[in-house]
């Protein structure tokens, strides 16, 4: 790992010093690129949305990327969700309605940017979120994937069964130039992580008609939640994990690579090989670091 300081934060790349310089100066000649990021912004709800200091840090980190998959939006009444009795009084009228959206839009776009936001429905006690720059990428469709074992509203706190995953992935299809790809935004449950990662492979395989599928998010994929000898389908050789077990994506004193990207060989042809971790933020902002990877937009042959 090579670390550098930029705008008060520390960024790391998994490659050589030359790649660190390229990360700052832009992509290699001959190919436009986009940067896709993932960040678990711990318990991102009313308290953080109302905190100007923390929101300033969050916005400063997020502005460097074309798409950011966010986990742990915790404001139950951020928006009303069809079929969710827990927040049927959310919008309009509830004082919590739209607090995270308003705070992000204000802080992200105050310097003339134009990020768009797409929230998932409430999934148990969390939401997912995609933040994207419509001047750089096009959002073509999005939905919470259907979990065949789930019963009752997905926002229910105590269903008889949560299915294959407690929080199934939030799917979105984007296009950037010739690069047409699907993202699966994921936050697994630590206590049943091995089962959840097997469920995640099931959801990945449901995208078999899509050549470029990228899993990203907080997979709790290290330390006590995923040991080196744990046998899961996502560790088959067909799957590429560009962030290895030797990186640390957590703010605390632990040394764990919980946050990951996963894709297969067709997508690796679009991957530039550049990736990084944004470090140095206060633990009051999150207990996870943002991770990112870069992809070419003009090489997709499918």
Residue 185, beta-bridge partner list: 170, 216
Summary mean pLDDT of the chain: 88
List domains and CATH numbers for the chain.
Answer: 2-296 (3.60.10.10)
238-281 pLDDT, tens digit each: 999 999 999 999 998 889 999 999 999 999 999 999 999 999 88
Residue 236: Cβ-neighbour burial (10 angstroms; 0-12, 13-18, 19+) = exposed
Q: Model pTM?
A: 0.90
Residue 264, beta-bridge partner list: 239
Q: How far is CA 145 from CA 86, 207, 255, in A?
A: 20, 11, 31
Q: Are 270 and 179 in contact (CB under 8 A)?
A: yes
* Interaxial angle between packed helices 52-62 and 99-108, expressed in degrees from 0 to 180 and rounded to the nearest 10: 60
Q: How far is CA 12 from CA 28, 71, 263, in A?
A: 18, 21, 21
59-102 pLDDT, tens digit each: 999 999 999 999 999 999 999 999 999 999 999 999 999 999 99
Per-residue pLDDT, 113 = 84
- Nearest CA to 49 out of 115, 101, 87, 119 is that of 101
Per-residue pLDDT, 15 = 37
Residue with tokens 């994207």: 132
Whether pLDDT at 9 is above 70: no
Least confident of 87-91, 158-162, 262-266, 285-289: 158-162
Half-sphere exposure of 57 (CA within 13 A, CB side): 19
Whether pLDDT at 21 is above 70: no
| Cα separation, 117 vs 268, whole angstroms | 27
Whether pLDDT at 3 is above 60: no
Whether pLDDT at 160 is above 50: yes
Mean pLDDT of all residues in 127-147: 97
> Does residue 69 or residue 161 have the better pLDDT?
69
Q: Are 59 and 108 in contact (CB under 8 A)?
A: yes
Per-residue pLDDT, 159 = 84
Per-residue pLDDT, 252 = 83
> Does residue 301 or residue 292 have the better pLDDT?
292
Which parts of 4-162 fold into alpha helices (H)? 17-25, 46-49, 52-62, 99-108
* pLDDT interval class at 14 (50, 70, 90): very low
Whether pLDDT at 23 is above 90: no
């Amino acid at each position: 790992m090579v670390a550098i300081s930029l705008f008060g934060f520390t960024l790391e790349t998994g490659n050589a010093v030359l790649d660190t310089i390229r990360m700052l100066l832009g992509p290699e000649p001959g190919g436009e690129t986009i940067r896709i990021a993932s960040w678990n912004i711990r318990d991102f709800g009313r308290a953080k949305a109302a905190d100007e200091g923390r929101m300033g840090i969050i916005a400063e980190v997020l502005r460097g990327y074309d798409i950011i998959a966010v986990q742990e939006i915790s404001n139950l009444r951020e928006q009303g969700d069809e079929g969710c009795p827990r927040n049927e009084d959310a919008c309009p009228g509830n004082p919590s309605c739209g607090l995270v959206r308003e705070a992000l839009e204000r802080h992200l776009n105050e310097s003339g940017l134009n990020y768009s936001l797409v929230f998932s429905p409430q999934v148990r006690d969390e939401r997912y979120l995609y933040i994207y720059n419509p001047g750089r990428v096009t959002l073509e469709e999005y939905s919470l994937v259907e979990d065949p074992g789930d019963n009752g509203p997905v926002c229910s706190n105590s269903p008889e069964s949560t299915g294959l995953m407690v929080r199934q992935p939030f799917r979105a299809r984007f296009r950037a130039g010739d690069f047409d790809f699907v993202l699966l935004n994921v936050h697994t449950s630590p206590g049943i992580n091995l089962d959840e990662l097997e469920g995640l492979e099931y959801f990945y395989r449901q995208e078999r008609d899509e050549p470029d599928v990228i899993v990203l998010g907080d997979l709790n994929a290290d330390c006590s939640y995923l040991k080196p000898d744990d046998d899961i389908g996502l560790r088959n050789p067909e799957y590429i994990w560009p962030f290895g077990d030797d990186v640390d994506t957590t703010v605390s004193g632990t040394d764990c690579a919980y946050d990951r990207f996963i894709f297969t060989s067709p997508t690796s042809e679009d991957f530039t090989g550049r990736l990084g971790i944004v470090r140095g933020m206060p633990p009051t902002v999150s207990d996870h670091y943002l991770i990112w990877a870069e992809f070419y937009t003009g090489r997709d042959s499918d």
